[in-house]
C-alpha cells in the first residue's frame, strides 16, 4: 500500500482543477438547502395551525418534520451526484492514456485504487461538511434529537462511500465518462429501489432482496438506531466493489 498518498494528493488536486467537483458540491448543497428551507417552512406552517390544539402541538417536532425528511432527501441527491464524482476517476485516465503511465509507477494496484477512493471519500466529506449551517439553524430553532442526526449523517457517509466504490468499478470498465456516469446511476438506482419488489415475491426471496437493498439498510439509521448488520452491509458492499475494481485494473495491466 506504499504510495497511496501520492495518488491521493494527485486526485485531490485533480478534483479541484476541474469544474465537475464544484458543480457536484454546488448542486448537492443547493438542493439540500432547498429541501431544508421547505421542511422548516412546513414546520412553521403546521405549528401555526396547531397553536390552538395543545395535543397536536406536542406531536410536532423537529425530528419527524425536518430532520428525517431532510436526510432522506439528501440521500436521494447523493444518488444523482455521486456518479458525476466518480465518472472520471479511471475513464479519463483511459481516454487520455495516462493510466498506462500510472501503472508503470512503483505503486501497487491496491495503492492506486485506495488513493483514488480515499480522495473521493474526502470530497464526499467536504460536501457533507457544507451542510453544517443547517445543523446550526436546527439547534437555534429548538432541541432536535441527536440520535437521528448522528445516525442519518452516518448513513449518508456510508451510502455515499458505497456509491463511490460502485462508481469507481464502473469507471474502470469504460473510457467514456458519460457512459460511466449513466451506468453508475442505473446500478445505484437498482440497489436503491430493489426492496420495492419484495412484496411481489415469495417470502424467502423477499428477505434476500431486502438484504441487498440500500434503502432497507438506511431506515434504521435514519431513526437513530445503528445496527451492526446495516453497518456491515455498507462496508461489505464497498469492499466488494473495491475488490472488483482491483481485478479490473489488473486485467487492464495484463492486456497492456
Q: Using only C-alpha atoms, what is the Rg of the chain?
A: 20
pLDDT in tens, the chain (256 residues): 667 888 888 889 888 888 888 999 999 999 999 999 999 888 888 777 666 666 655 667 788 888 899 999 999 999 999 999 999 888 888 887 777 677 777 778 888 899 999 999 999 999 999 999 998 988 887 778 888 899 999 999 999 999 999 999 999 998 899 999 999 999 999 999 887 777 777 777 778 888 888 988 898 898 888 899 999 999 999 999 999 999 988 876 665 5
Q: How many domains does the chain have?
A: 1
The DSSP output letter for 89 is T
Can you tell me the distance from the alpha carbon of 198 to that of 218, in angstroms, rounded to the nearest whole number? 16
Q: Report pLDDT digits (tens) over 22-68.
A: 999 999 999 999 999 999 888 888 777 666 666 655 667 788 888 89
30-60 in b/e form (b: 16+ CB < 10 A) is ebbeebbeebbeebeeeeeeeeeeeeeeeee
Q: What is the pLDDT of residue 38?
A: 93
Domain that holds residue 133: 4-255
Can you tell me the distance from the alpha carbon of 216 to that of 194, in angstroms, rounded to the nearest whole number? 9
DSSP annotation string for 163-229: HHHHHHHHHTT-S-HHHHHHHHHHHHHHHHHGGGGGGGS-HHHHHHHHHH-HHHHHHHHHTT---HH
Q: What is the pLDDT of residue 59?
A: 65
Amino acid at each position: 500500500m506504499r504510495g497511496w498518498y501520492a495518488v491521493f494528493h494527485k486526485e485531490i488536486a485533480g478534483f479541484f482543477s476541474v469544474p465537475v467537483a464544484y458543480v457536484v458540491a454546488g448542486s448537492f448543497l443547493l438542493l439540500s438547502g432547498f429541501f431544508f428551507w421547505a421542511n422548516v417552512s412546513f414546520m412553521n406552517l403546521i405549528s401555526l395551525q396547531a397553536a390552538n390544539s395543545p395535543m397536536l402541538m406536542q406531536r410536532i417536532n423537529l425530528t419527524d418534520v425536518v430532520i428525517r425528511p431532510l436526510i432522506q432527501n439528501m440521500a436521494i441527491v447523493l444518488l444523482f451526484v455521486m456518479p458525476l464524482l466518480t465518472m472520471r476517476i479511471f475513464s479519463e485516465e483511459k481516454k487520455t492514456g495516462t493510466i498506462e503511465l500510472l501503472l508503470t509507477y512503483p505503486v501497487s494496484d491496491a495503492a492506486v485504487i485506495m488513493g483514488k477512493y480515499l480522495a473521493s471519500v474526502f470530497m464526499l466529506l467536504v460536501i457533507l461538511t457544507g451542510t453544517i449551517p443547517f445543523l446550526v439553524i436546527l439547534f437555534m430553532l429548538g432541541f432536535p434529537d441527536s440520535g437521528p442526526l448522528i445516525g442519518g449523517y452516518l448513513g449518508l457517509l456510508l451510502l455515499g462511500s458505497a456509491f463511490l466504490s460502485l462508481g469507481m468499478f464502473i469507471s474502470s470498465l469504460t473510457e467514456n465518462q458519460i457512459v460511466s456516469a449513466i451506468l453508475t446511476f442505473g446500478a445505484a438506482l437498482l440497489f436503491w429501489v430493489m426492496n420495492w419488489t419484495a412484496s411481489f415475491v415469495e417470502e424467502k426471496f423477499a428477505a434476500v432482496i431486502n438484504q441487498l437493498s440500500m434503502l432497507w439498510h438506511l431506515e434504521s439509521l435514519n431513526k437513530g438506531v445503528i445496527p451492526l448488520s446495516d453497518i456491515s452491509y455498507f462496508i461489505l458492499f464497498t469492499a466488494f466493489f473495491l475488490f472488483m475494481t482491483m481485478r479490473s485494473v489488473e486485467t487492464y495491466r495484463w492486456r497492456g
